[in-house]
Structure 1
């Protein structure tokens, strides 16, 4: 999966002529159509994407080979992946969520806190879901410069300075 990144998902059909409702996970939502062809998670299927119009929470889109409402409905929940080499390079202080998942999280003293299980965003900013053997339940660490001063993708670790009491 390191060579592909999830850029969107099919939320179901749109209308009766084979269009799908597409949710984009891209910083610029309409860019999802420029990374194609997009493939399913297992890589067994791929589609060229043509956005037809914006709709609530996404886009109506045409996918190659999808011509009926039934075919569009059958794709509901399918995550769409783009080849990593087609995605734009990021500035030094930005990261693809896929690159953060699995990284070891250590505190400023080097003690391991856990591993990143997911990157969440509920509207107020990104949160790293950190799980580890010493934690009863996953901890949500704010992904801010203050709480996460260092992300070292090469070393596969994140240095965190969490708010007091977060990891207790």
Structure 2
């Protein structure tokens, strides 16, 4: 799930546009399943803060088609294009498994090497299709490096302590595609 740590909201999806003429919207969903969009209660639209309640939701190939309360025609649906659908972080609860994490909880963690030296800060978590990648902004250079988020490269995740231990690979790439 994408996160917005500055606002305390977690983005569960984004409206991609109208679907049909009766006010339904196409939503790109960032939850594990499209049904997850409706699992946490009313959604806050960002920007603007409008509250949305889902009346109906059906899965489609690239996300979901959703009918929202108060959106009755194509024009109203199209006007919402680009709106992020969010919930407060507290609505998510705790992950079901001990070694599972919400992306929003990883963002902002202090990244340390195995000796405890501070390397930088986790700025984002990306999934380009081959698994999650930590985007770490290095304090020393100000550049970002991408580190695969798996046990070998992130052996310690201490959410309460505000830190994550990372093992930088020799072939870690920075944001310009150069080896770090």
The alignment's TM-score, normalised by the length of structure 2, stands at: 0.84
Query: 1:148 touches 1:162 (CA, 8 Å); kept in 2?
Result: no
Any unmatched runs of 5+ in structure 1?
Answer: none
Q: How does 1:107-118 map to 2 (within 5 A)?
A: 107-118=113-124
Q: How does 1:85-124 map to 2 (within 5 A)?
A: 85-90=90-95, 91-124=97-130
Size of the aligned set, in residue pairs, is 168
Q: Structure 1 residue aligned with 2:35, among 15, 18, 30?
A: 30
CA–CA distance in structure 1, aligned partners of residues 92 and 116 of structure 2: 33
Query: 1:35 touches 1:83 (CA, 8 Å); kept in 2?
Result: no
Deviations 1:47-102 (A, max 9, x none): 11134432231111101111111111111111111233432531111111111111
CA–CA distance in structure 1, aligned partners of residues 17 and 47 of structure 2: 19
Bigger mean CA offset, 17-26 vs 37-46: 37-46
CA–CA distance in structure 1, aligned partners of residues 152 and 98 of structure 2: 16
Partner in structure 2 of residue 160 of structure 1 = 166
Structure 2 residue 1 is matched with structure 1 residue 6: no
CA–CA distance in structure 2, aligned partners of residues 153 and 74 of structure 1: 38
